[in-house]
Structures are given as C-alpha cells and as structure tokens.
Structure 1
C-alpha cells in the first residue's frame, strides 16, 4: 500500500509552523550525523515538508527567513541550493533534544527551590513590560503577583533580562517556600494548569488513535517531534508532587516515546533514500 500523509487533523491537531517543521527536520535527519556539516538540497526539504501539508512557497520563504535570522546557512552547487545548520541552530536543537530525551515532561526530581524575579518598570514602558512578561512565560515563569514572577528550580534569566535591556529594573532571588505556604494553591493561582493538562490530553488522544500502520513514517515522525517539542517548551515543569493526581504529562510522554521509537528506523531509512546532501564548506 502506498504511504500517505498521517491524518491527525481529524482530532483537532494543531498545524506546526513551517519553521518548527524545518528545525524538526534538521534535528531528526541532519544534526550529529557524524559526517561533518551537511547541507540538504532545497528540493528535498520541499518534498519532505510537503508530506505534512506545507506548500513549496511557504517552505522557500521559511528557508530564506531562517537564513536571515542566522538559523541556517546556504551553499550553491551548480543550479541547486543547499541549506545547513548554523552553530546557533545546532545549539537550539541540542537543547530541544535534551528537553525531550533527558529532562522529560515530568518533574520528579525537584529540589524544593524556586526562582523569584521581581521587576518595576515605568508606566510608559508598556512594550518592555509586555516583552518581559512574554519571555518569562515562555521560560516557565508564572505570575505570583503583578511584578513578582516565580519558576521552579534555578532558572537562569540573565540572557533574557540583558537582551531586553532591563538589568537595572529586575531583581532575581533563589529561595524556598516556608512550611505554611500552600504550594499546590500557589501553583494553581500562578499557572493555567487546566490549559496545560488539556494540551497533554489532546496530544495523547490524537496519537493513540492515529492510523500509523499506513502512514508515511518520515512525515509522522516530523510532525510528532515538532508537536511534542512545542508542548514541552511551554511547560514550566512544575513539581509533580504538587500537581493534580494522574497528571497527564506522564501518559503523553509514554505515547510520544513509543511512537518516536517505532518510527525512528523507518523514517531514517526513508530519509536516506529521499535526501540529497552535500558537505558544507567552512
């Protein structure tokens, strides 16, 4: 039977952004292959992303934007253009791989510490306030109070604060909660647990009911990894002992790892047949 695109949209699957799919593609099939820096022919990338429903023009414009943002570099060979990872993009992908395979979605080894970040900005700095809150949310912080944010463990926010030029307006502390503090209540008030749990439940339902037997393995794995990484990057990894019982991240992670293992071999073999590559010059 001819391979077909995996139909996960039937269960309200989110469509990953083209850039996320491109990064997932390079992370799966190019990064750390042990053959030096590899460039992949743009036609090969267009073919693979087309298998998950991304059109040629969207892929081409995404590749150009990623070059301009310092995530990809390109090299012309005759009439063909090849794209490879920059050092910055490789670091991003290795961090994502660490989050997926080493750190995981379930925080069972929390040491009881919290990172507290307080800030006070002039009323007129609405854009700076919005940017800081957005970056903190992305980094796993929750709003304890208006100007006091909190994250589990020892979160390093120096780069975020410096990039926004807010060093003089931000104070960071590492602390433990006093015994009379209701940590479970604090977590429920500071993070949207219902929305976070719903993302894990939807992921698990979508992938446990998907028809994998006749699906295109390279497309399946590409979309699987892109979607899972999107979820865990927005997960603050709150201590599981203070979360509702049977927190759905555990079951979702088991589903992800099972399907990732099942598709690794077939997707790798298909990629070896489909992808046209060339060594990149220093």
Structure 2
C-alpha cells in the first residue's frame, strides 16, 4: 500500500466519515492532484479498507481499522521491555500460490519480522494475533506454524539481529532525518505556530511529518533496547518528532475544520 493510501486511511479513521472534497482540499495543499486522491480512495474501497454509504463520503471498514491498528502499534513498542522470547513463523506455500506467499512475506517484513531461513521468520514481539489475521486473509492457515520460546543453540543476540535486520543502514537514515528535522523542519514551522490562521498550513506540516514517521516505522523492526547498540538513534528520532506532532496538532485552532483529524491523536498522546 502506498504512503498516500495509508495516510488517507489514518485521516478517515479519525472521524466518522470524510467527504471527498475535504480530502482533495487537504492534498491539493500538499501538491497532490485531485485525481490521484480519488484513485487512491477507489483502490482502498475496492480492497475493502473503505466503504461509501453516501455519495462522495467515505468511512473506514473493520479491515481498514485492523490495518491502521497494526501499522500504528509499532512506535508504541519504543521502550517496552523484552521478555527474552522469540515468535517464530514457519510456512510452506506452493509456487502455484506464489502471490499469497509473497504477500504474506511482505506483511511479515513490514510488521518487523526478520528472515531467519527461507520461509522462517522471527520477531522478539508477540504478533500472534496479527500473523493469524494475515494467514486467514490469504487462506493459508493450514500451511503455517507458530512457535514461541527461546533459542537453545543460537548465535549471540546482537550478532543475530545485525544479520537479520539492516540496523546500520537504518541508523544512518535516522541520523540524516534528525539533522533535517532540526535544521529545516523546525525553523519552517515556527512562523506557523505563532500565527496558525485556519489551521490548514499547520495540518499540512503535521501530515508531512506524520508520513515520514510512518515510513520510518514500517522500515524499522522496532527491536527492544536489549537487542540494540547504545548508539541507536531510532528512539530519540521518534521522541523528538512525536513531540513536534503533538505541538502542531495542539496549535490547530479548535474551530478549524482540520481539528477533527487530530483530536484523537491528542487524546491518545
């Protein structure tokens, strides 16, 4: 799913329903053509993530809420202690059903699993419910096995995670994003925070930063601190940017039509 589609799902999940013209207005302010927005909405509806009970108005479905919940929970793992247990997913899907197999692999990797062996994936987090939902979605429940426990004979944990996940590359990405955030993004939003007007400009920057965090969280396995080197920058990056998101959201005037999209975010923060 494209970043635009994920963000549209997030926006629509924030309220009981959103009119197309409002979404078009928001994304045109971000330089996105209205037809691209409309096409994204149609794709999301076709795939079962959105419904449209009224003309030109969309609501999120249970499937869409499940997806949003899954991708939004990864940042919540920051700082969470690890119980030392690994969840292992093993599956065997024949070549004749390669699309299902590839989709399952993609979902597992996006959730933060690492490929231990071919069709064997592991994670330090308890994603049993999510994996079972994937298996049901792709109709491979009888071809998948889940195990949870510790490894009896295995390489050292830090060596293992370096082999399974590109942590050094991710750390360099975080380093660059932190520099951009403090040298460019923060100075740019200061005038908006002083004079928020109707809130659209603030909301556009909120979406920009939120989209960046969403992309970072999808690429980051969000490993527990016990499995990370002391120089890991991910946690600091998320904390700084999430604090800025709250600041932007809180500055949107109460009477602004964009306030409804951030109200739940402020409540949950």
Category of TM-score, reference length = shorter chain: 0.7 to 0.9
Selected match of 1:40 from 18, 21, 26: 18
Name which of structure 1's ranges 266-275 and 149-158 shifts more when overlaid on structure 2. 266-275
- Which residue does the alignment assign to 2:28? 50
Residues of 1 paired with 2:234 and 2:190: CA distance? Answer: 25
Choose from 206, 214, 217 the match for 1:221. Answer: 206
**CA positional deviation for 1:55:** 1.0
Task: Indicate how the Cα distance of structure 1 residues 272 and 182 shifts in structure 2: closer, same or farther if over 3 A, else same.
Answer: same
Larger helix fraction of residues: 2
Match of 2:227 in 1: 242
TM-score between both structures, scaled by the size of structure 2: 0.78
Q: Within 1, Cα distance between the matches of 2:176 and 2:148? A: 34
Unaligned runs of 5+ in 2: 193-200, 261-269
Contact 1:112 1:153 (C-alpha < 8 Å) held by counterparts: no
Map 1:105-254 → 2, pairs under 5 A: 106-122=78-94, 126-156=98-128, 157-178=131-152, 181-209=155-183, 210=185, 211-214=188-191, 216-254=201-239
Pair 154,189 (structure 1): closer, same or farther in 2 beyond 3 Å: same
Structure number, greater radius of gyration: 1
1:249–1:111 distance in 2 versus 1, CA, 3 Å: same
1:84 corresponds, among 59, 62, 67, to 59
Tell me if structure 2 keeps the 8 A contact 1:113–1:175.
Answer: yes
Q: Supply the RMSD in Å over aligned alpha carbons.
A: 2.8
* CA distance in structure 2 between the aligned counterparts of 1:171 and 1:273, rounded to whole angstroms: 45
Tell me, which stretches of 5 or more residues in structure 1 are unaligned? 1-15, 32-36, 276-282
Give the TM-score taking structure 1 as reference length.
Answer: 0.75
Give the secondary-structure state (helix, strand or coil) at the position aligned to 2:178: helix
